[in-house]
Structure 1
Amino acid sequence: MAAIIKPWEGTFPPFRMYGNLYFVGTQPASVHIVDTGEGLCMLDTGYQHSLYIVLDNMYRMGLNPHDVKLILLTHGHIDHFGAARALRELTGAKIALGAADREYATGELDLSYAKELDMTYTETFDPDILLSDGDEITLGNTTFTAIATPGHTPGAMSYVFPVTDGEKTFVAGLHGGMGINTMCREFLDAYGLSYDCRDKFQAAMDRLKEIHVDIFLGNHMQHNDTAGKYKAIGAGNQYACVVPGEWIEYAEWAKQNMLQMVERENQR
């Protein structure tokens, strides 16, 4: 929590994950950049008050924030879209979000998870692009495919896309939202939300396991051991982020994590 309130305590060195894919986020929330050759795509933005760190990280990697043309958001929570409005005002980039999370972004529904973090969500915005399952967005040499993965939020979107160093190309995948915190009984009852999100999440995880991904990207650093991969790359392993099977393993772990939560609730 301290790194959220005091963002300077949550800094992490930016680094090239592979080819045209970069990590420029913070310890509390991951942010990734893809250089498409005709502009930058940012995947999630992090918290609004951590934006200065993200921008500095970009400059440190030789990336100009004003080259951001597209912002792809995984879901409608403040730790992932908090800085989206400010970035759009700064760069003119288009913001894409799952259609079912639109009212989270506009503030029409008080479900941004700001309250749970003792924060206030004031940087509301209306997305430029509302995504549905299977939608494709192309920027430069890269096509991003959106995969609906409801559960954590109704409009959570995972993204798969190619990354390349000019010689080898791999498929990267970013999960839409894996947390069970918004599927627990207390949260659902507090907001009068349907329990069917649990079945949808389970089905979404099974679906993700059928998709081939070489480079697994996490919404948060601990999801895919970002820190460990940073160290491995620094030690000379340029393929440290290429871990076939990691995407599938994490999807199965997330599914089991949710089922175990339900089992614990039923035993109370």
Structure 2
Amino acid sequence: MRLGPHLSRVGNDIVAVHLIDTPDGITLIDAGLPGHWSDLRAELRAMGRDIRDIRGVVLTHGDSDHIGFAERLRLETGAPVFVHAADADRARGGDKPKLSMGPARLGPTLGFFAYGLRKGGLRTTYLTEVVEVADGDVLDLPGAPRIVSLPGHSPGSIAVHSALAKAVFVGDALTTRHVLTGREGPQPAPFTDEPEQALSSLDRLAALDATWVIPGHGAPFRGSPADAASAVRAAAA
């Protein structure tokens, strides 16, 4: 689905993958679930592009619903997969904290897990090779994505800022659709390692210049990162 001149989305408000599209190629932000591979191919065909137009994948963090087809893409095309050094082990299948689910409603929770099953969420393929990144890095990829550390959801959670796309991709630093309650609007994401740290990290998000704030779960937020951060804090209060 086309969001803007350089911006497209694969998936839906439950789990999404985003594309920065330029004449020099495509940068993927996150890799969703394994079953999003066929959705990605369909979106590329609709764009008149090919899988080998993808120059790299930037993971906002290393959780399984964000790394889905990344290893497959890397092996088939050679496109590198970038992840913050603090989440590199998680992206390779390392241990992660045992988290409580927090608030949940039966319908949305069942819908989330059913969607995950349909999209191959039980057959995660972890990364065997990643390129580690750090705060402030500007990657040599289409859209010149810049890395902004937002620890809290995980130690290596990041935002990916692209001035060309006028967007900041925030992964699970916040959500606009809580996958376990169905609540919509900017709010803290579930399954967060350190909730207080995640809220503190929003100060770094608010300083960015963008007209789109794009989470991994939920509808894109049309507005400034500062407005999105304020809304999340209000929802958490």
Q: What is the TM-score normalised by the length of structure 2?
A: 0.76
- Provide the secondary structure at the position in 1 that maps to 2:27: strand
Q: Which residue identity is paired with 1:138?
A: D
Query: Alignment partner for residue 125 of structure 1, among 127, 131, 143?
Result: 127
Change (3 A) 1:250 1:106: same
- Give the structure 1 partner of residue 60 of structure 2: 74
Shift of 1:58: 1.6
Q: Give 1 or 2: higher helix fraction.
A: 1
Which letter does structure 2 place at the counterpart of 1:124? Y
Counterpart secondary structure, 2:66: helix
Q: Does the Cα contact within 8 Å between 1:153 and 1:182 map onto a contact in 2?
A: no
Q: Work out whether residues 24 and 58 of structure 1, in 8 Å CA contact, stay in contact via their aligned partners in 2.
A: no
Q: Say which structure, 1 or 2, has more relative contact order (CA 8 Å, 6+ apart).
A: 2
2:229 aligns with one of 240, 245, 251: 251
Tell me, in whole angstroms, the C-alpha distance in 2 between the residues paired with 1:33 and 1:199. Answer: 30
Dislocated runs of 4+, deviation >6 Å: none
Percent identity between the two aligned chains: 23
In 2, Cα distance between the equivalents of 1:201 and 1:61?
Answer: 35
Q: How does 1:76-225 map to 2 (within 5 A)?
A: 76-110=62-96, 117=113, 119-120=121-122, 122-140=124-142, 142-163=143-164, 171-177=166-172, 178=174, 179-183=188-192, 197-224=194-221
Residue identity in the other structure for 1:182: F
Q: Deviations 1:107-127 (Å, cap 9, x if unpaired)?
A: 1215699x9957535401134
CA distance, structure 2, for counterparts of residue 43 and residue 87 of structure 1: 13
Aligned residue pair count: 206
> Is the contact between residue 212 and residue 220 of structure 2 (CA under 8 Å) also seen in structure 1?
no
Greater CA radius of gyration, 1 or 2?
A: 1
Structure 1 residue 84, shift from structure 2 partner: 0.7
Kept in 2: contact 1:47–1:83 (CA 8 A): yes
What SS is found at the alignment partner of 1:125? coil
Q: Aligned in 2, Cα 1:157/1:202: closer, same or farther, shift over 3 Å?
A: same
Q: Deviations over 1:150-204 (max 9, x none)?
A: 11111111011122xxxxxx62111132253223xxxx6xxxxxxxx23321221
What RMSD, in angstroms, separates the aligned Cα atoms of the two structures? 2.6
Indicate conservation of the 8 Å contact 1:149/1:158, yes or no.
yes
Which residue does the alignment assign to 1:60? 46
Amino acid at match of 2:45: Y
